[in-house]
Homo-oligomer: A and B are copies of this chain.
Amino acid sequence: MIAGKVVGSLVSTRKSDKLVGNKFMIVEPLRHMSADTRQIIAIDVIGAGIGEYVMVAQGSAARIGCDMPDAPVDAAIVGIIDEGGIIEED
């Protein structure tokens, strides 16, 4: 998974029927989590708000792990990181 910050959302009216009812959040990986600043569009099954730090699962884990095995989803917010919840001891 990667850790990132929810920086926005995305509205799509014309979309796959299987995506209806989902929220699409824009997540920006933390600086050390990605080679570059590369934002991801992830569905949100946890209820994360703008500005929160989250864990994002990608690939089939997003689809299957969020009980949407047949939906065209390749990224999902699967956890909200606690305040002070990133503990690094290099």
Interface of A toward B, CB cutoff 8 Å: 1-3, 7-16, 18-19, 24, 26, 28, 30, 32-42, 45-47, 50-51, 55, 57-66, 69-76, 78-82, 84-90
Can you list 25 A-B pairs with a CB-CB distance of less than 8 A? A1-B24, A1-B42, A3-B10, A3-B26, A8-B87, A9-B87, A10-B81, A10-B85, A10-B86, A11-B84, A11-B86, A12-B80, A13-B82, A14-B47, A16-B78, A24-B79, A26-B86, A26-B88, A28-B32, A50-B89, A57-B72, A59-B61, A61-B72, A65-B71, A65-B72
Please determine whether A46 and B14 come into contact, CB atoms closer than 8 angstroms: yes
Please determine whether B1 and A73 come into contact, CB atoms closer than 8 angstroms: yes
CB distance from A1 to the nearest CB of B (A): 4
